[in-house]
Amino acid sequence: MVDNDARAKLSVNNLSFDAPMRSGSTGPDIIDIRKLYAETGCFTYDPGFTSTASCQSKITFIDGDIGKLLYRGYPIDQLAEQSNYLEVCYLLLYGELPSAAQLADFTGRVTRHTMLHEQMTNFYRGFRRDAHPMAIMCGVVGAMSAFYHDSTDINDPIQREIASIRLIAKMPTMAAWAFKYSQGQPFIYPRNDLGYAANFLRMCFAVPAEEYEPHPVLAHAMDVIFTLHADHEQNASTSTVRLAGSSGANPFACIASGVACLWGPAHGGANEACLNMLRQIGSVDKIPEYIAKAKDKDDPFRLMGFGHRVYKNYDPRAKVMQQVAGQVLDVLGVENNPTLQVAKELERIALSDEYFIEKKLYPNVDFYSGIILDAMGFPTSMFTAIFALARTVGWIAQWKEMIEDPEQKIGRPRQLYIGASERSYIPVDERS
């Protein structure tokens, strides 16, 4: 913690830049460089924003050195064990745990917004059957702007609230329908008598020919997976949503931009990539070969599900995810799942390898999630769509906080220009 009058001094081109410093309630202090360019004519340079705080926030805190993750101050393992996803949504959106009455009201509002505008079914039919569910989610989430005009004015807090509820409520329906469409099966409509996660499982796995009752252990596991993925500070997709929102874009367009960014294999696409990697390794005896590839600077191969920009210790979500994997595989009678055996042995070997120890590479949230989702019957192509479903509340909470922050303005980074100096145009017949 720094004193209120703490300053950081920087000497630039014989100019002295005197910057105020600030402490948060916890975590690293910041140096306020907003006047740096005006006073020195210089930019800072921080590709990937490894040393940059893009905003102030009260929502999520991560201490990567000790593997701590707090949602509004509450540790993720306590929330995963004692809370549920809709209660966590309320906490992330409004800052406090709800009373029983507040939770019942919030749950009721979400439940009554789970259906999509019926014309959106036509929108799905414009895609090829083999379209990746994330391609469909990018399109359908963005298309909400064309159906819900009465909740697109970001300056109206009532419309912001309705859009937030609609997005949280409809993401499971949109994701489940993307899955059904890829399977060539009819859409299953939400049911108001089911919990959030159970409703999603039923919309994914029920067919008109027979009823489907989600197994309570699987429904609870799904709910915990949603909670573990709900928010994660200023990650790439959340930063994308904030940047899109800073221009005044409507909430559905902003969340669609987050879906697009999350799709990348270095980010939310890692759960799909990780399970594909574990299957590619195939057996425990092949692990050393892949560990060597991951360590080879000339080999682009990375251990998917390992490493993190912020966590330089075990991702606390991965620990909970490993416990959930055991529960799900026990219920499904696949405790000898070969992929899980490879994952556990890969984790054991990697965590004792000097390269991973020195670079502080640990399993992250994506390392075990794919094993659980695969055992539950989801194709790997649905993994990131499920991540996007769960992360929607985090994106919305961060988007709302950005809009309501008096210090916020349109995001517009600068650059270090290394291109050609000014030169005159040469007509094509005079060029060599």
Q: Which is nearer to ligand SDX, 235 or 392 (CB)?
A: 235
Residue 7 three-state SS: strand
Asked whether position 68 contacts ligand SDX by CB under 6 A, the answer is: no
Relative to beta strand 7-12, strand 30-31 is unpaired
d(CA 394, CA 167): 11
Please report how many Cα atoms fall inside a 13 Å half-sphere around the Cα of residue 243, on the Cβ side. Answer: 14
Query: Of these residues, 223, 315, 366, 374, which one is catalytic?
Result: 366
Nearest residue (beta carbon) to ligand SDX = 307
For the bound state, the minimum distance from the C-beta of residue 38 to ligand SDX, rounded and expressed in Å, comes to: 31
Tokens of 126: 């414009």
| Residue 302 binding ligand SDX, by CB under 6 A | yes
Strand partners, 75: 70
Query: Minimum distance from CB of 17 to ligand SDX (Å)?
Result: 28
| x/- letters, 326..365, toward ligand SDX (CB under 6 A) | ---------------------------------x-x--xx
Q: Let me know if 308 is a catalytic residue.
A: yes
Distance CA 394, CA 230 (A): 5
β-sheet bridge partners, residue 68: 63
Residue closer to ligand SDX, measured from CB, 116 or 365: 365
CB of 267 to ligand SDX, least distance (A): 4
Catalytic residue among 113, 308, 315, 374: 308
To ligand SDX, the closest distance from the beta carbon of 292 in angstroms equals 11
Phi, psi for residue 60 in degrees, rounded to 5 = -130, 140
The only residue of 223, 347, 366, 401 in contact with ligand SDX, by rule CB under 6 A: 366
Instruction: Give the Å distances, CA to CA, from 306 to 50, 69, 111, 175, 264.
Output: 18, 17, 36, 26, 15
Cα 310 to Cα 330: distance, rounded to the nearest angstrom: 32
Helix, strand, or coil here: 42?
coil
Helix (H) or strand (E) holding 180: helix 157-183
Nearer to ligand SDX, 143 or 386 (CB): 386
The phi and psi torsions of 78 (rounded to 5 degrees) equal -70, -40
304 sits near ligand SDX (criterion: CB under 6 A): yes
For ligand SDX, which stretch binds (CB under 6 A), given 25-33, 132-140, 160-168, 298-306?
A: 298-306
Give the binding-site size for ligand SDX (rule: CB under 6 A).
22
Q: Which of residues 205-264 bind ligand SDX (CB under 6 A)?
A: 232, 235-236
Q: Looking at beta carbons only, is 113 or 308 nearer to ligand SDX? A: 308
Give the nearest distance from C-beta 52 to ligand SDX in angstroms.
Answer: 13
Three-state SS at 319: helix
**DSSP label of 282:** -
* Choices 113-121, 170-178, 218-226, 305-313 (CB under 6 A): range interacting with ligand SDX: 305-313
Q: Which member of 175, 230, 303, 320 binds ligand SDX (CB under 6 A)?
A: 303
Does residue 5 carry a catalytic annotation?
no
What is residue 302's three-state secondary structure?
coil
CA distance 365 to 317: 5
Distance CA 392, CA 396 (A): 6
| Sites of contact with ligand SDX (CB under 6 A) | 232, 235-236, 266-268, 270, 294, 302-310, 359, 361, 364-366
The residues that are catalytic are: 308, 366
